[in-house]
Structure 1
Amino acid sequence: MSRPPWSRVRAAVLAGGLTVGVLVGTAACGSAQSEGRPASPSRSPKKLTAFEESQTRLVELALKNPGDGAFSDEKRLGPEVGAGRRGMLQGVYDTDLHRGQSVKVDLACTGRGSVALAVVSGEKRSKTRRASCTDDAPRPVPYVFPVEDGRVQVTATPQSVKGAVGFTVQAVPEDAETVEDDLRADEARAFLPDEESEGINLGLASGSLREGIPGSIVDVKKGQRIRVLAACLGTRSMTISGVSGKAEASERIRCSREVGTGSFELTAEATTLRVELRRDSGATGGAAYTIRSP
């Protein structure tokens, strides 16, 4: 599904993108694409099986096109990719980041099992985040971590993963909360019709519930049928409403870890339509809405 360009402009923050990819365990990953120095193996590495080779290629392909949306222009470091049975996968990166900024790690894995993901920056180690693997085609999942300084170590530890594991890293010059909200807004927007869908697209807006999402005023014709669709991902709830002359409609949507969606329709009674999105106090996450005429 195609997505409109993201409104936020970010500056590049990487300084040369030094990467050192290390696979710790029985052997280094021979298929990892980034420059790397393997840990000393305790015994000779085993060749990848045909299944592991195919799973490794699937992960590599997935990481080349993770569907970044808001972050598609940021330089990607890595990938670090390896067979699950070969143990911990690790990358160390030098960036221009400083305390209060963050890294986004896109993780992909196959073959069931799970992966424990953690980041060390400065003297702090992040809380471990866990991802589940499936036999389906891998879809990179983004995880956001705050950093303390420019050197970032990312570690992915496979647990009973029979396929492959891989990740890429992007340095983002914003705090972790803002980055997570942007990611959630991007995912919410993916649940809405795109520009190629049936009907006329009159407007689209998305952003952070924490910061607030601007309303829209669009030109319409009296008697025109309007449909407004909205989606959110985060906490608490939001209300999307529309007014055209005496015609009014609204929909309340619950936001949670799963994308919540809602819509309403009205017939314009004026030459303009005003759409507003109001969030509950303390709501966090991302949301999006689109205004369409069938």
Structure 2
Amino acid sequence: MTAFRRHRRLRASANLRRMVREHRVAVDDLVYPVFVQEGLRGKEEISAMPGVYHFGLDAFRREVAEVSELGIPALLLFGIPLEKDELSHSAYDEHGVVQEAVRAAKEENPDLVVITDVCLCQYNPAGHCGIVRDGKIVNDESLDLIAQTALSHAQAGADVVAPSDMMDGRVAAIRDRLDENGWTDVAILSYAVKYASAFYGPFREAAHSAPAFGDRKTYQMDPANVREAVKEALTDLEEGADMLMVKPALSYMDVTRAVREVCDVPVATYNVSGEYSMVKAAAARGWIDERAVVEEMLTSFKRAGADFIITYYAKDMARWLRERA
């Protein structure tokens, strides 16, 4: 009789499968993105992202308490200002919406890791991530404002600043600005590999940041490129990034793996709005088992090499892990 391997032996029972499982998602792997809106009282659900909300500062404090109780170690903060102007002044205002949210989060839980998204797109009427001159997004002139925004977040108490603009040189500009002002302990999580993705659709409503003209393809990456992603990641490391991010997550697991293999710093992946909303929509119609799909997705991100995962499902996953314990 021809010999063959019986791989099924190690799948024979639930406990045996647990013993030999190669990758797991833990609550320590989760970062929860939160949208804080200036001037809002309470919270308002984002129609394109069921279960995700715009929070006023009062409701945000309650959200911080809930996230803390669930054991989630970190938040990623996005701000939605009342006023926008061409130089995005609200982005680096001492009393801007993100700056006040950072202070509120630290008052509620000093041990919570507060990560701030650093960008200009929510704060200017053009909806672009840099300064616009004659219909073009200019790189070098934008760096000063991006660095000033990061500094203002650090001064408010942020533990980590996360530049998402994809301007060349922004990590170096931020590191220099932070260090010059004594904020040497504030870490940089760079959106090192951020693609010009169609999966961001619902986020435009969430962040009030749809471009007023054109698109973001001159600064965000072409979805067809992987070697370029590695180059972007290595450049940000050279400029002083402490951690790197790949965004989106689901269609870019090969990119996460490629970055993981060449970089020795923590790598994050962002399970973005479109990925979240597609699962929500299919689950609402009874086409999929939401919990099973989410757990499978998040595990796949770990398998691809992510050290931690930014996901709108963070609270749900934390509860499911608690139930399983």
Q: Smaller-chain TM-score range?
A: under 0.3
Larger relative helix fraction: 2
